[in-house]
Structure 1
Amino acid sequence: MAGTTYPSESIYNLIPREEVKIIKPPRYMSKFREQMKLEKQENKAPNKTMGPAKVEVPSPEKYLQKHSKEDRSLEKKPNTDHFEEMMKPRKPRVPSKSDKPLMGIQTKKDFVKTNAFENIMAVPKKPQPTYVDTKKGDKFPLETSGLVPKYLKKKDYGQTPEYLLQRQEEVKRAQEEYNDYVQECMKQGAMQQLSDEERKHILEGLKKNWEELHHQYQGLSVVTDTTPKKYRKERLELEMKQLEKDIDLIERYKTIYISNN
């Protein structure tokens, strides 16, 4: 049959073999087993989970009566104030449908006239301003829409705020103190201000030096294959960067002070 497999035949399978029985070791038994049984039997509480073994059946004479299981503490206490209740005046009886009301009796306050006077003397409410922005007539409050120029009507409109004025005064005061300090230092001879001619002369000299160094830098070889060429190129670059910083510093500040020391 297709799909069935048979084991390979061998002559050794014809020799009867002795059956090997596996002997299992004895099961482990704790030496405290008997002691635990005794303790379990002693600590076992009777009627713990299944209820009492024997329930006493009530006799037919002791049947369950009505309201026998209700709480007796909620029972009504006897009324000790019965005498006071009897001394109170009784309320008038409820009129019947055939009784007619007494005519001509008025109360102390005429509510009709009072309401009429209050409505006549009341100030009419002003309608809340609204605006309509749709063809269906949807209304919205006008005050919060941003269309009312309420900021133009403020008392301080168009004026500089107080905090800006205070800040300007502080900046002005700080500048005056700094100018006084600089003038005091100049009087003592500690600093000297450069004139415009000296500043221009120094600036022209720095630019001329930079042009000379730049001319030398352009004359260098393209290939720096030796150590002297490399050192010379780096030295020229450092000197040109320092001159550029000095030129930028002098061009940025028009007032320059130099220490006499």
Structure 2
Amino acid sequence: MSKQLFPQESVYDYLVPEEADEVKKPPRYVSKFRPAVVLENKLSKDSKRTMGPAKIGAPAPDKYLKKHSKEPKLPEKTECTKNICGACTCTERKPPVPARTDNPLVRIHTERDFEKATVAVPMKPTPTSVDVSTGHKQLLENSGLVPKYIFKKDFGQIPEYLQQRRKEEQRAQEECERLMEEQREQVALQHLSDKKRQELVEELKKKWDEVHGVYQKLPFIIDTLTMKTRKTELEEELSELQKDIQHFERFKIIYTAKD
């Protein structure tokens, strides 16, 4: 009964270590262009790279380093070179020095050359201009002192663009004057004749009589607002008509605007 409930145990079951799960890493990334880059680097940079001195051929046995071989050498003496004492070893001698009485050899002049020399015009120096005390000079033509522009065909003439601009300004000025003249004619004043002035005075007096008649017909007792307003309007109209009448009678010369 006890064997079925409690199975047999062993101490070795606890001493044997359990195997740990091995974690596998993914493979490292390698570019597919790596071989081409390595080859290009070797061809461009490692072509002349060496370990130690460059490989050169060994010298011949008879060309060993001799004494004073690296010292500078003087040029070899020739036959014409002079020795220390001043004597010349050259076999050929130079021509002797000419005497004082000998005439130098010159070019033979002909009659034609003489005629050219007599007829030729002497050369004139180039005209220059000195502008500073230190002697700095320049060509006179470039200095601005030579009046060369006055000999041009169009010197002193007004350019075409200025003539065009002047015509446009003149045309604009004429148009402006024409508009101003029209405005002055529109608002111009005309003299009022004596006959017309008398007629206006008579009309104003008739108007004053009519308004005054209406004013006299107002009731004596005015207690409403409408009647008071009417009376005030009539009084103002009478005063305006009286001022106009006095104005036309006082001034003999009157100007009025054109209709």
Q: Taking structure 1 as the reference length, what is the TM-score of the superposition? A: 0.28
Greater C-alpha Rg = 2
Q: Taking structure 2 as the reference length, what is the TM-score of the superposition? A: 0.28
